[in-house]
């Protein structure tokens, strides 16, 4: 006689998973493959998710880290995270066909930085060193024009050219609460600093973090589906812990779940970072259904209906 399955409530976060920028970036690679055939080169992972990248690789996408690894005669796509200004300039010099899949909300930050620079302001960027979005945004302006801060402590050490001529921008995938603390420190030290007209942290990051905060008091553990190099997914884990969830775990897919850490749990929250497909969410739900007498509850805090157009070059007739 088989042992009876323990009961467990799975709280499903909504919204979760793909955002409009990720949807658009994946569509760009698929449309480029349809238009030009394989191989199509992609500079950096199009989005930070191995499952997505492997799926596109199987269709004929070749992922590289630098433009120098791409041949002149094949199309190249720039990832959703954005690239320094020098990259498309070099592609144009080499007369390459290139498609920019930068998320429009990241491009908005690039435009903002350029506008402030033209007005004679030095930029302070709140972001994570080494993240491709940060590298791309800082690379929009000449060296020294964008200063990076990651923490409140970094603000105290900032050496600026003129305290009266500063503006700040942020990476789009940061913790809303942590960023607010850094912004407060910047404003306290540099009262004249100018902020964005509308917050740079994107709607998808904000919505997913807000839902985790609502779920956290109801659960014993939180699972976030996402890649280790996905900034917005890692922030969801941090937000869950800060909101009072005793155990929060980042998993790429069902095979990565640490079931021993969930022993005794009666309520588990499940969400997915903005670059994680719903297919992986369903895979995790099925894994829970195999082990538990499952009750599912959806916790919805926002409805998302954002859609971004793909670049004109892909909407034009096949070359």
Residues tagged active-site: 133
Helical segments of 10-131, H only? 20-36, 50-59, 86-93, 104-118
Strands 122-126 and 76-78: unpaired
Contact 127, 150 (CB under 8 A): yes
**What is the end-to-end Cα distance of the chain in Å, rounded?**
65
The residues near 68 (Cβ < 8 Å, ≥ 6 apart) are none
Q: Which of 131, 134, 132, 141 is nearest to 161 (CA)?
A: 141
Residue 234: helix, strand or coil by DSSP?
A: helix
Helix, strand, coil percentages (3-state) for the chain, rounded to 5, are 40, 20, 40
Q: How far apart are CA 262 and CA 205, in angstroms?
A: 26
Angle between helices 203-215 and 231-242 (to 10 degrees): 30
264 backbone φψ class: left, alpha, beta (φ>0; ψ -120 to 50): left
């Amino acid at each position: 006689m088989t042992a009876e399955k323990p009961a467990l409530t799975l709280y499903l976060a909504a919204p979760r998973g793909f955002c409009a920028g990720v949807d658009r970036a994946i569509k760009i690679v698929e449309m480029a493959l349809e238009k030009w055939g394989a191989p199509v080169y992609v500079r950096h992972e199009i989005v930070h998710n191995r499952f997505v990248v492997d799926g596109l690789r199987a269709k004929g996408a070749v992922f590289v880290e630098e433009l120098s690894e791409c041949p002149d005669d094949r199309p190249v796509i720039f990832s959703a995270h954005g690239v320094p200004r020098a990259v498309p300039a070099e592609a144009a010099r080499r007369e390459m066909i290139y498609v920019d899949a930068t998320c429009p909300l990241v491009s908005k930050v690039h435009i903002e930085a350029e506008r402030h620079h033209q007005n004679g302001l030095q930029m302070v960027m709140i972001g994570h060193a080494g993240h491709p979005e940060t590298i791309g945004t800082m690379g929009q302006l000449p060296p020294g024009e964008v200063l990076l801060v990651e923490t409140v402590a970094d603000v105290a050490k900032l050496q600026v050219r003129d305290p009266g001529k500063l503006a700040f921008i942020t990476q789009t995938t940061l913790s809303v609460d942590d960023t607010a603390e850094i912004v407060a420190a910047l404003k306290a030290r540099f009262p004249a600093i100018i902020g964005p007209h509308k917050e740079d942290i994107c709607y998808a990051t904000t919505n997913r973090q807000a839902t985790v905060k609502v779920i956290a008091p109801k659960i014993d553990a939180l699972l976030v589906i996402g890649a280790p190099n996905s900034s917005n997914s890692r922030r969801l884990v941090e937000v869950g812990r800060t909101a009072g969830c005793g155990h929060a775990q980042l998993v790429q897919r069902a095979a990565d779940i640490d079931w021993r850490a969930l022993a005794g749990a009666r309520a588990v929250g499940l969400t997915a970072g903005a670059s994680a497909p719903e297919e992986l969410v369903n895979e995790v739900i099925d894994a829970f259904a195999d082990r538990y007498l499952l009750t599912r509850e959806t916790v919805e805090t926002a409805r998302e209906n954002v859609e971004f157009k793909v670049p004109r070059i892909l909407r034009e007739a096949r070359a």
